[in-house]
Structure 1
Amino acid sequence: MFEFPVLIGDIGGTNARFGLITEKGAEPRLLSHEATAEHPDPSHAIRAALAKGGDALPPPRSTILAMGGRVDGPEPQLTNADWRIGGERIAKDFGLSSAVVVNDYVPVAAGAADIEPHDLTPVGPSPTIPGGARVVLGPGTGFGAAALVPYAAHLAIVSTEAGHTDFGPTTDFEEKVWHALERVEGRITVEAVLSGPGLARLHAAVAHVRTGQPHEKIDPAAVTEAGLKASDPHAAEALELFGRLLGRVCGDLALTFLATSGVYIGGGIAPRIVKVLEESGFREAFERKAPFEQMMRQIPTSVITVHDPAFKGLAALANEGRRFVYHGQVWRKEG
């Protein structure tokens, strides 16, 4: 499906990571991490990444790019940045024979197919249940999710926009927090709460509820640091609430796809707060899905701790393309 060398890219709202697979079966070589805001368009960032690879770097012949956003139309736009990712335009800019653009959680799902135990940190029970569906998700700049579903001899990857579904409270305290939460375009969605900006919103809302006074948002990294050190009781409580809410959403997606082979949590936040997830009621919220608690107790939940998990998945898609079935924008040079 791909002519080697294959340029791979994981393009998010904050950073774009580029690499090169020089030949079939080879591991990807990281070229660079580029700040999205520092480049006017993806081709500009790719040129910078290829330049950092050095003169001895073989030029790419095809590309597969994962982007943080819905892949629809000839040039889909990143959800949390101004770039448009047009496969045909990028292919012509670099003289490529083909270009594929997919949602950023497609490669994370592909990578979960053969993920090694040492690349995971279990949260709760971790039985091995092969042959079932799996869900991958992650709170980061936004919230992404996809499912990996066995389909005959293939693995079907179902990308979702689960982060943009509505999200509501289930306890009296959560209801008070919801009243204080900042809306995003008039809504409270999964992403509006379970993301970096969402953690900042949760902290401000928890502080508002506890003090009775509106509270300014602070940087999400500062919320995490203060919460882990317990130097700010509102930050610690916001982190605990974040963990419980994440457990609930993980359980909802596990039910949606009957993900009996596991739920895998990526993104930039979860690896930093594993202890919080273990102690916050994450698993209790995950399992509280009557009348299916018994089934939920058997589904493992783990945090993906490997660096850049999308790269492993992009390599799998490039090297084992016929194993997977997935939606994406595909452009091939005629003739």
Structure 2
Amino acid sequence: MFEFPVLIGDIGGTNARFAIVAEKGAKPTLLSHEATADHPDPSSAIRSSLQKGGDRAPPPRSAILAIAGRVDGPEVQLTNAHWKVGGERIAGDFDLTTAVVVNDYVPVAAGAAEIEPHDLTSVGPCPPIPGGARVVLGPGTGFGAAALVPYSAHLAIISTEAGHTDIGPADAFEEKVWHALERVEDRITVETVLSGPGLARLHAAVAHVRTGQPHDKIDPAAVTEAGLAASDPHAVEALGLFARLLGRVCGDLALTFLATSGVYIGGGIAPRIVKVLQESGFRQAFEKKAPFVGMMKQIPTSVITVHDPAFNGLAALASEGRKFVYHGQVWHRPE
């Protein structure tokens, strides 16, 4: 399906990361990280990345790009950035024979098929169970999720928009927080609370509940730093609440896809708060799914700690495309 060298890209709302897979089965060679705000369109960012790659960047013959957004139609608008991504346009700009665009959690799911134990940090005591479905998800600039489901001799990758589903309070304290939470388009969704901006909203709402006064949002990184250092009690409480909500959503997705082979958490936030996840109520919230508590206790949960996890998945899609079944925008040069 792909002519080598293959350009691979992981395009998020904040950064776009590009690499080259020189030949089938080769490991990806990182070219650069480009801030989406620094470029008017993806082709500009790709040109910059190829230039920075120098001798490490032979001219690509095809490309597979993962984007943070739904992949519908000939051009796709990123959910949290101004770019529009079109495979045919990029193929024309770089004289490619093939260009494929997929949701950004498709390669993370593909990478989970062969992920090594040293690239994971367990949250909970459960060993992995082979042969079942897996879920990958991640809170970052937004919230992405996908499932990897065995299907005959293939692995089907099901991308989702789970981040845009509604979420509500589960106890009296959360109900107070929900009344103080900033809404997005008059909704409280998974992404509203489980993302970088979501952590800032949780902190402001927790501070409002505890002090009785409205509280301005602060930078999510500052919330994380203050919470881990225990220098701000509201940040500590917000991180704990974030972890419990993440556990609840992980459990919901595990039930939805019967992900008996595990839930794998990526994104930019989880690797920084592994200790909070391990010591908070994350697993309790994950397992509290009566009448299936027994099943939930057997499902492993892990944080993906490898850097740029989508790259290994993109390389697998480029080299082992027949192994996977997935939805994407596919363009081939006419014969």
Q: Which amino acid aligns with 1:267?
A: G
SS for the counterpart of 1:214 is coil
Aligned to 1:285: 285
Aligned to 2:44: 44
Unaligned runs of 5+ in 2: none
Unaligned runs of 5+ in 1: none
CA 55–274 in structure 1, closer or farther in 2 if over 3 Å, else same: closer
Describe the superposition over 1:272-307 as per-residue Cα deviations: whole angstroms up to 9, x where unpaired. Answer: 001100111000000000000000000000000000
* Correspondence 1:190-269 to 2 at 5 A: 190-269=190-269
Aligned to 1:319: 319
SS for the counterpart of 1:334 is coil
Aligned to 1:182: 182
CA 322–171 in structure 1, closer or farther in 2 if over 3 Å, else same: same
Describe the superposition over 1:203-241 as per-residue Cα deviations: whole angstroms up to 9, x where unpaired. Answer: 000000000000000000000000001100000000000
Describe the superposition over 1:40-73 as per-residue Cα deviations: whole angstroms up to 9, x where unpaired. Answer: 0000000000001115632000000000000011
* Correspondence 1:47-126 to 2 at 5 A: 47-55=47-55, 57-126=57-126
Describe the superposition over 1:116-154 as per-residue Cα deviations: whole angstroms up to 9, x where unpaired. Answer: 000000000222210000000000000000000000000
Moved over 4 A (4+): none
Indicate if the aligned counterparts of 2:31 and 2:56 stay in contact, CA closer than 8 A: no
**In structure 1, distance between residues paired with 2:37 and 2:231:** 32
Q: Which amino acid aligns with 2:188?
A: I
SS for the counterpart of 2:207 is helix
CA 155–52 in structure 1, closer or farther in 2 if over 3 Å, else same: same
Describe the superposition over 1:72-111 as per-residue Cα deviations: whole angstroms up to 9, x where unpaired. Answer: 1110110000100100000000000010000000000000
Describe the superposition over 1:224-267 as per-residue Cα deviations: whole angstroms up to 9, x where unpaired. Answer: 00000110000000000000000000000000000000000000
SS for the counterpart of 1:187 is coil
Aligned to 1:10: 10
Q: Which amino acid aligns with 1:31?
A: L
Indicate if the aligned counterparts of 2:2 and 2:98 stay in contact, CA closer than 8 A: yes
**In structure 1, distance between residues paired with 2:58 and 2:249:** 43
CA 201–5 in structure 1, closer or farther in 2 if over 3 Å, else same: same
Indicate if the aligned counterparts of 2:9 and 2:17 stay in contact, CA closer than 8 A: yes
Corresponding residue pairs, total? 335
Q: Which amino acid aligns with 2:309?
A: P
CA 26–173 in structure 1, closer or farther in 2 if over 3 Å, else same: same
Aligned to 2:163: 163
SS for the counterpart of 2:84 is coil
Q: After superposing the two structures, state which structure 1 stretch, 38-47 or 54-63, moved more.
A: 54-63
Q: After superposing the two structures, state which structure 1 stretch, 46-55 or 5-14, moved more.
A: 46-55
Root-mean-square deviation (CA, aligned residues, Å) is 0.6
Aligned to 1:135: 135
SS for the counterpart of 2:58 is coil
**In structure 2, distance between residues paired with 1:220 and 1:330:** 36
SS for the counterpart of 1:290 is coil
Indicate if the aligned counterparts of 2:6 and 2:21 stay in contact, CA closer than 8 A: yes
**In structure 2, distance between residues paired with 1:152 and 1:57:** 37
Q: Which amino acid aligns with 2:180?
A: A
**In structure 1, distance between residues paired with 2:159 and 2:233:** 37
- Identical positions, percent: 84
**In structure 1, distance between residues paired with 2:87 and 2:185:** 30
Aligned to 1:146: 146
Q: Which amino acid aligns with 2:121?
A: T
